[in-house]
């Protein structure tokens, strides 16, 4: 990796002149009020694993009670400037595909079309028995009816968590809703820790990265610590095949050694500057725009 006095200008110079594929993480959605897992100052979190969720009703009650409270907040989250910048990049033909590790659906809500939801979307629920999918909003209404007063009892001070749940300990008495078709246990249609990403999504993401080989393009990582292999593998793949990797993230990442340039900054400002460059509406040097 090249050590540069002006990594932001260098990153923008690399990204603005070649086709792009983006890999986004939780740091992109913090400006929408959704906390991340590992950003500077983030509390230590231990999300439920897939194996724990399948262990039975006690774990499922704990998950859904927290998700029931958290959903009332995530459902109202709106795209931020970083999401809108990716829409602009796609509109101008610079962005070929957007691989997101986020489950909040904000890329699609902003208007991005070429989105690969690597870990699924929290807006859907799925039966673990019959695999039927249904809208998460419908499940929320069923849980409302089954658990009157639960939200009020939880209180407004409960801390939101990154995947649409909440930091909540008092879950006793929470009533679960089963699949409307077969009565099986419902889970959010997202990839839990310890669960494999569906092969077709992985293949689609690799194909998107491979499209950067000719003409030569760049993989832009935005707001991800790359701690889990589901995202890091695409950075390793790009680096192995000589594709330029640029990382924009607050703090270090597991993929730093594979990047040509690292920008330790917030995603919204950097991406807005990049979209402006591509559209021809922003000055090339970004130092002034960021108060440097």
Q: Give DSSP secondary structure letters for the chain.
A: ----S-HHHHHHHHHTTS-EEEEE-GGGTGGGT---SSSTTPPP--PPBHHHHTT-HHHHHHHHHHHHHHHHHHTT----HHHHHHHHHHHTT-EEEEEE---S-HHHHHT--SEEETTEEEEEEEETTT--EEEHHHHHHHHHHHSTTHHHHH-TTPPB-TTS-B-----TTPPP---TTT-PPEEEEE--BTSPPPHHHHHHHHHHHHTTTTTT-EEEEES----SHHHHHHHHHHHHTT-EEEEE-SS--TTGGG-SEEE-S-HHHHHHHHHHHHHT-S-S--TGGGT-
Q: Known catalytic residue: 119?
A: yes
Phi, psi for 190 (deg, rounded to 5): -130, 160
**Nearest to residue 77, comparing CAs of 106, 113, 37, 112?**
106
Block residue for tokens 């007063």: 149
Q: Which of 107, 119, 237, 241 is catalytic?
A: 119
Kindly compute the dihedral angle of the four CA atoms of residues 227, 230, 232, 233, in this order, to the nearest 10 degrees. 150
Give the C-alpha distances (Å, rounded to integers) separating 228 from 75, 109, 218, 231, 286: 26, 25, 21, 6, 31
Q: Which residues are catalytic?
A: 119
């Amino acid at each position: 990796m090249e050590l540069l006095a002006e990594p932001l200008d260098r990153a923008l110079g690399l990204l603005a002149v070649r086709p792009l594929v983006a890999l986004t993480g939780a740091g992109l959605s913090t400006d929408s009020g959704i906390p991340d897992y590992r950003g500077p100052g983030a509390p230590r979190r231990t999300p439920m694993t897939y194996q724990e969720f399948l262990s039975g009703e006690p774990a499922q009650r704990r998950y859904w009670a927290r998700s029931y409270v958290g959903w009332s907040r995530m459902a109202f989250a709106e795209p931020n400037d970083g999401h809108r910048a990716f829409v602009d990049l796609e509109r101008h033909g610079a962005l070929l595909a957007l691989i997101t590790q986020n489950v909040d659906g904000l890329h699609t809500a902003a208007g991005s079309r070429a989105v690969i939801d690597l870990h699924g979307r929290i807006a859907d629920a799925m039966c673990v028995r019959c695999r039927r999918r249904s809208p998460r909003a419908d499940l929320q209404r069923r849980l409302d009816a089954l658990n009157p007063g639960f939200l009020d009892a939880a209180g407004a001070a409960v801390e939101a968590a990154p995947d649409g749940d909440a930091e909540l300990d008092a879950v006793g008495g929470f009533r679960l809703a089963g699949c409307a078709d077969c009565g099986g246990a419902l889970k959010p249609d997202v990839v839990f820790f310890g669960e494999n990403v569906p092969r077709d999504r992985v293949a689609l993401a690799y194909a998107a990265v491979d499209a950067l080989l000719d003409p030569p393009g760049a993989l832009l990582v935005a707001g991800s610590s790359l701690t889990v292999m589901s995202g890091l593998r695409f950075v390793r793949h790009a680096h192995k095949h000589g594709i330029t990797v640029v990382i924009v993230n607050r703090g270090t990442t597991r993929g730093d050694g594979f990047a040509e340039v690292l920008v330790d900054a917030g995603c919204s400002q950097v991406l807005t500057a990049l979209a402006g460059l591509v559209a021809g509406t922003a000055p090339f040097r970004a130092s002034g725009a960021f108060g440097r």
